Amino acid sequence: MAVPWDTVLHDEEALREVAVVAVDAALVEGVLMRTEGCPNASDVVNYAPFTLFPSVVPSALFEQAYAVQQDFNLLVDAISQNKEFLEQTLASTIKVDDFTAQLFRIHMQVLEEGLAQSVFLGINRSDYMFDCGADGTPALKQIEINTIAASFGGLTSRTVAVHGRVLKVLGKFQEASRLLPNNPSKGLALGIAKAWELYGSPSAVVMFLVEEVQRNIFDQRCVENELWNRNIRVIRKRFRDVFEKGSLDDAKRLYIDGQEVAVVYYREGYVPKNYDQQNWEARLLLERSRAAKCPDIATQLAGTKKVQQELSRPGTLERLLPGHTEAIARIRATFAGLYSLDVGEEGDRMVAAAIADPDRFVLKPQREGGGNNLYGEELRQVLEKIRDSPERTAYILMDKIKPQPTINYLLRAHNPLQASECISELGIFGVYVRQGKEMVMNKAAGHLLRTKAIEHADGGVAAGVAVLDTPYLV
pLDDT tens sequence across 439-457: 999 999 999 999 999 986 6
Q: Identify the active-site residue in 124, 126, 151, 216.
A: 151
Q: What is the dihedral of CA 300, 292, 84, 76, to 10 degrees?
A: -50
Instruction: Choose, from 125, 172, 238, 367, the residue flagged as catalytic.
Output: 125
Based on the residue annotation, tell me whether 425 is a catalytic residue of this protein: no
Active site residue 424: no
Q: Is residue 1 part of a domain?
A: no
Mark whether 387 is an active-site residue: no
Whether residue 369 sits in one domain with residue 317: no
For residues 285 and 252, state if they share a domain. yes
Q: What is the pLDDT of residue 459?
A: 57
Q: Which of 165, 267, 305, 367 is catalytic?
A: 305
151 is catalytic: yes
**Any catalytic annotation for residue 288?**
no
Q: What is the pLDDT of residue 463?
A: 63
Does residue 359 share a domain with residue 259? no
CA distance 222 to 3: 31
Predicted local distance difference test score (pLDDT) of residue 409:
96
Q: Active site residue: 368, 408, 420, 427, which one?
A: 368
| Residue 165 annotated among the catalytic residues of the structure | no
Claim to verify: residue 11 and residue 61 sit in the same structural domain: yes
| pLDDT score, position 461 | 67
Active-site residue, 368 included: yes
144 noted as active-site residue? yes
Question: Cα Rg for the chain, rounded, in angstroms?
Answer: 22
Do 216 and 245 sit in the same domain of this protein? yes
- Whether residues 272 and 385 share a domain: the answer is no
Q: State the residue range of the domain holding 354.
A: 338-400
| 45 is a domain residue | yes
* Residue 337 neighbours by CB distance under 10 Å: 14
- Residue 270's pLDDT is 95
DSSP one-letter code for 374 = B
The domain total for the chain is 2
371 in the same domain as 331? no
98 near 372, Cβ under 8 Å?
Answer: no
Contact 368, 305 (CB under 8 A): no
Last residue of a domain, one of 371, 400, 429: 400
Q: Are residues 272 and 390 in the same domain?
A: no
Kindly report the length of the chain: 474
Supply the pTM of this predicted model.
Answer: 0.94
Whether residue 437 is found in the same domain as residue 291: yes
User: Is 329 found in the same domain as 382?
Assistant: no
Residues of the chain under the 50 pLDDT cut? none
Q: What is the pLDDT of residue 453?
A: 93
